[in-house]
Amino acid sequence: MDWFCGGSLISDKHILTAAHCTISQSGPPQMVKLGAVNLKDTENYVQEIIIEKFVNHPEYKRPKKYHDIAILFLRKSATFSAFVRPACLNTVEEIVYPQAKATGYGKTSHDGLDTSQILLKVDLDIIPNSICCKYLRFRKHEMPENLVKQMMCAGDLKEGRDTCQGDSGGPLQVIKSFYSNVIY
């Protein structure tokens, strides 16, 4: 099976991902894999669950990048464990954290052909949208309004580290230091 996007478990039967991840030449996503650090893992803590259906944001219109969010509905409930936990979702409008962590199995270079089989992470700075728009050249047919207030920008302007193809839909996590296990 090919895995081509990430996602975040938000309840025992729902995954939050990118809407463009539900559209592929090989068809819509069929299954999720939970709890794996290595995609080849077959350990008993790894769960593979069939996707029953998905719902894209009603205002998502390709090729534009706005409203690029979807929910996957799982056929059966995920079993929570030390390896499988639901994400805590941010509930405030303004992000006040300077850094976040992105994780995924995406490509490790822009020109690379293969995606990683091992879960990778990268520390990224949260960049104000006004600064992000100065550094990034958005394709006008994809983002005619540049970044809008419902979007956020993360990256590493100094060393150029970032996510890549295959990381779409995956989490951008903030660890709140005053709670031991709370990640947004």
Q: 170-180, pLDDT tens digit by residue?
A: 888 887 765 55
**Catalytic one of 20, 116, 177, 180:** 20
Alpha-carbon radius of gyration of the chain: 16
From the list 2, 14, 68, 111, the catalytic residue is 68
Let me know if 20 is a catalytic residue: yes
Among the CATH numbers 2.40.160.40, 3.10.20.600, 2.40.50.140, 2.40.10.10, which is that of 8-74?
2.40.10.10
- 14 flagged as catalytic: no
From the candidates 14, 110, 111, 168, give the one annotated as an active-site residue.
168
pTM of the model: 0.86
* Mean pLDDT for the stretch of residues 95-119: 80
Q: In what order do the strands lie in the sheet with 99-104?
A: 153-155, 120-127, 99-104, 172-173
Is 57 considered catalytic here?
A: no
Q: Is the bond preceding 144 in cis, omega lying within 30 degrees of 0?
A: no
Q: Where do we find the tokens 């990640």?
A: 183
What is the pLDDT averaged over residues 96-125? 81
Mean pLDDT value of segment 89-115:
80
Q: What is the mean pLDDT of residues 9-32?
A: 93
Per-residue pLDDT tens over the stretch 23-36: 988 888 999 999 98
Which residue would you say has higher pLDDT here, 45 or 93?
45
Which tokens sit at 113? 């052909």
Q: Is the pLDDT of residue 138 over 80?
A: no
Direct distance between the N- and C-terminal alpha carbons of the chain, in angstroms, rounded to an integer: 29
Contact residues for 14 (Cβ-Cβ < 8 A; gap 6+): 71, 72, 73, 74
